[in-house]
Chain A
Amino acid sequence: MCARNHSWLSGLPRSTEKFLPYALLSPILIVILALGLYPFLYVIWLSFQTQTAATKPVFVGLENFYEIIFRDRTFRDVFANTLVYVVSVVTVEFLIGLGLALLLNREFKGKRIIAPLIYLPMMVTPVAVGLTFRIMYNVEYGPFTYFLDLIGLPAIPWIASATYALFSLIIVDIWEWTPFMFLVLLAGLQIVPRECIEASQLDGASYWQRFRHITLPFLRGSIAVALLIRMIDAFKAFDIIYTVTEGGPGTSSAVLSFFTYIVGFRRFSLGYAAAMSLILFFLILIPTQLLFRRLRRKP
C-alpha cells in the first residue's frame, strides 16, 4: 500500500511490481553466484580430476580422496596439527576474552584507554603481525630471547624447532584474535539485565552462582557466535603460517589450509588440492553445525 503511493511506481502494473524486488536484487545475486557458487561447483568437479599446470583434466573418480585419506601420511600429520591448533586457539582465546570482558564490564577510571588497547592487535594486518613475530622469535637477536636472558632463562628455539613451532604460531594467533572474542562477549554482556543481578545479590547469591545461572544463559548466543566465527577462521588460518614458518621446520607447523595452498599452487596438483579443500570444508562444516545446535538449545 505504501509503495503504491510513490508516484514512480503508480504507473506500473501489479505483476511487474511483484517481480520488482527480484529484478532489483538480481545484479548482486548474479555476482554472488558467479563469485561464490560457480567456483564451489568447479572445485567439486575438479576434485574428481587429475589436473596440473601442464596437463588437461583427466577424470579419476574418488582416487584423490582415497589417496588423501588413506595413503597421504603428510595429510594425516597436518590434520593432527590443525586439530591441535584450532582447539588450542579457540579455547584459550575464549577463556582470556571472557575474562577480559567480565573485568571490563563495569565503569572504572581509565577504561576508555584500556579497552582500545585491548582490541588494537586485531586491527593490525595479519601479514605485518606474522613478519614482526618472525623477527621477535629469532633465537639470536629477537626480543623474546633478550628478555629470557634477562631473567636467567635459556633461549627457546621458537620457530627453529619442530617441538615449538606450532606452539609459537598458536601464541601469535592468540595475541591477534583474543580481542575479537573480548569484543563479542563484552557486547553480549550488555544484554544481561542489571535487575536480575541486583536481585540475586540481595538474595545472597555468590559471584559464581550469579555467573552460572544468570550471566551465562544470557551470554549463550554471543558465545555461539564468537566460538563459531573463531573456529571457522582458525581452520582457515593461512597468513600467520605463511609469514612466520611456512609450515616448517619440516611439517611441524603446517595446517590444512596452508598445506592445501602448497599442493595447489606450489606443486600445482590442482585436482588433489581441490579434493583436499573439500575435505577441509566438511571438516569445518560438521563441528560448527554441531556446536551451533548445542549452543542454540534453549536452557
Chain B
Amino acid sequence: MTQEKKTEGRLTRRSYLQTVGGAVAGLVIGGAIGYLAKPAEMVTQTVTKTETQTVTGAAPVTTTAAPIGAVKPGATINILSSSPFDSVTRHWGEVWGKQMGVTINSIPGPAAGLYDPIMTDFMGHSGSYDSSEYVYEWLADFVEGGYVVDLKPYIDKYNDWDFFNDVVPIVRKMYAEWGGNIYGVPFDGDSINYYYRKDIFNNENVKTEFKNAFGYDLGPAGDWDQYLDIAKFFTQTTKGKYIPYGTTEATHRGRMAVWWFSHRLLGMGGMFLNTDGTPAVNSEIGLKALDHLKESLKYAPPGAIDYEFQEHENAMVFGKAAQMLQWGNIWSDVSLNPASFLPGKKPTDPDWPLGIAPVPGVGPGKKGHTLLAGGWSYMINKDSKDPEDTYRFLVYMCRLPQSAWQNTHPETGVQPSLKSHYTDPTIVGVLGKEFCDAYQAGQAMGLPDLRFPHAPEFLDYLDQEVGRACAGQATTKAALDDVASHWVDLCKKYFGSPNVPDNYVRMVM
C-alpha cells in the first residue's frame, strides 16, 4: 500500500521516455507521410533571352527580356477578392498557376468590408495578401501610405503597354492611376446605366395611358423629372396594374445611400467639390438630387430605404420594377436567375425585355455625368514576397482573351473595362450590340465620386447624412449643410485648410 502510494502520481523515467519517444516517432512518421504525399513539383524552365543593343555614341546596352516561366516557381500568391469576383481569380488562377508552377490562392472577402482587412494587413505589414481588389476611393490612402507597388517598371519589363493603353481612358485614369503613376490593374468597368422594361414601355395601352396622364410619349427617362413621372405613373397613377412599382432604389447604410445620391448629383450636372476644393454637395443641385431620391423612394418597393445591392437588383429581376439605375450585371442576371420573370432568355434574343439607356441627364448636349460606382481593380502589396509573378497573373487575367470569359459569365458580375471589349466578338455575341454600345457611351461620360486621401471618411459621412435625410431624421438642407460643414472640418484636420487641395480636386474632375 505504501509502495503504491509512493509511485502514485510519480513521473517515472520509463513513462517519461515512453511519452517523449512516442511524440518524436509521431513527428517523424507524420513528416514522412507529408513529404511523400506532396505532389511532384512542376518542372519549369526559366528561359531568358539576352539582347544587346548598341546605341550610337554610347557603350553597348545589354537588356534582359522578360522570363517566360515563373520568377519564383513553387510560390503561393494570395489574392483577396470579394464575392463573386473571387470566382474569376480562382478560375484563371488554376489555369495560369498550372502553366507557371505557382499556386494562386483566391481568398474571398465581403465586398462591403474589404477596406478593413486590406488596411489592417498594410499597417501590420503582415503581407497576408500579395494582391487585393480595391475600389478607386481607397487608392490615394494606399499610395500615400506607401503600401502599394508602382506597376510601371513591370509594364515596361513585360511590354504590357498594349493592355494598359487598351483600358478605357477614364477607367485607367480614375481606377488605376495616382500622381502620374499606375498602381492598379483595372478589372471591372462598374459604370452605372439606366435600365427599363422595354416590353412594358412598348405596350400600347401603357403608352396611351401615360400620354394621357403626363402629356408626352413614354420612353426611357431623358431627365430626372421624366424619371419621377414614370415612377409615379406605374406605382400611383395605374396602381401597379402593369407592374407593381415604377422604380427601385437602394439606400442601405454603408455604400448604397451615398451612391444613389451621387447618381443624381452627377446626373444633374452637379459635383462633389467646387473648383476651389470647397464642398459642393449642398449646392442647389445637391439639394435637388437628395429631394429627388427621397421622392423616388415613395414609388419604390416598401423597404427600399434599406435595400442592399441584391435586394435592389432582385426588384428588377423578379419583375417588380419598371426602371432602375444599376450596374451592368443586371443585364444578364435576369436570364441567369431561375426565379426571374424571364429565365433562360438571352440578351441577344429579339424579344429581350430589358432596355438600356444613359443615366438621365447624360448624353450629347446634356450636362450630366455617369457615376463610376466602385471601380474594382487589383493592386500589389509592397509586402508581397512575389510582386512580379503577382503582376503577371493580374494582367494575364484582365487582358483578352481571358477577360472575355468573366465578361460573358454573368455569375462573375464583371463588366467591360477595355476598349476592345466592346468589339470583341465573344462579348458582343453574348451581351448584344445594344448593351455594348450603350454601356460604352455611358462609361465615356463617367466620373468618380471622391478619390483623395481620407476619401472613405468623407464619403461615409455623406452616406450617413443621406440616410438620415431619407429616413426623416433630418431635412435635406440640414443633412447636406452638415456634410459640407463636416467636410470643411476634415479638410482643416487633414490638409490644414478648409478646402481640398487643388491637386486632389483635379483628380476627380
Contacts and interface: CB of A to CB of B under 8 A. Distances in A.
Interface stretch (A97-105, A219-227, A242-250, A283-291): A242-250
B119 A248 contact: no
Interface string B384-403: 00000000000000000000
Nearest to A55: B494
Contacts of B116: 265-266
Interface in B133-161: 140-141, 144-145
Interface residues of B, number: 43
Contacts of B96: none
Interface stretch (A82-90, A156-164, A208-216): A156-164
Contact of B464 (A52, A55, A251): A251
B471 interface: yes
Interface string A61-81: 000000000000110000000
A155 interface: yes
B303 A251 contact: no
Interface in B444-470: 453-454, 456-457, 460-461, 464, 467-470
B9 interface: yes
A139 B302 contact: yes
Contacts of B141: 52-54, 268
A266 B135 CA distance: 13
B467 A248 contact: yes
Interface in A119-166: 138-140, 155, 157, 159-162
A55 B493 CA distance: 12
Nearest to B117: A265
Contact of A8 (B11, B304, B493): B11
Contacts of B140: 54
B381 to A, nearest CB: 14
A3 to B, nearest CB: 11
| Chain A interface size, under 10 / 10 to 19 / 20 to 34 / 35 or more | 20 to 34
Nearest to B308: A246
A267 interface: yes
A161 B303 CA distance: 8
A206 interface: no
A16 interface: no
B262 interface: no
The interface centre, meaning the residue of B10, B254, B471, B474 with most chain A CB atoms within 10 A of its CB, is B471
Nearest to A74: B464
Interface of A: 6-8, 50, 52-55, 73-74, 138-140, 155, 157, 159-162, 245-252, 262, 265-269
27 contacts: A7-B10, A7-B11, A53-B122, A54-B453, A73-B482, A140-B301, A140-B302, A160-B306, A162-B472, A245-B306, A246-B253, A246-B254, A248-B251, A248-B257, A248-B471, A249-B306, A249-B468, A249-B473, A250-B467, A250-B468, A251-B467, A252-B471, A265-B113, A265-B115, A266-B460, A267-B461, A268-B115
Interface of B: 6, 9-11, 113, 115-116, 119, 122-123, 140-141, 144-145, 251-254, 257, 301-306, 453-454, 456-457, 460-461, 464, 467-474, 482, 493-494
Given A54-B144, A157-B303, 5 more contacts: A162-B472, A246-B254, A248-B467, A251-B468, A266-B254
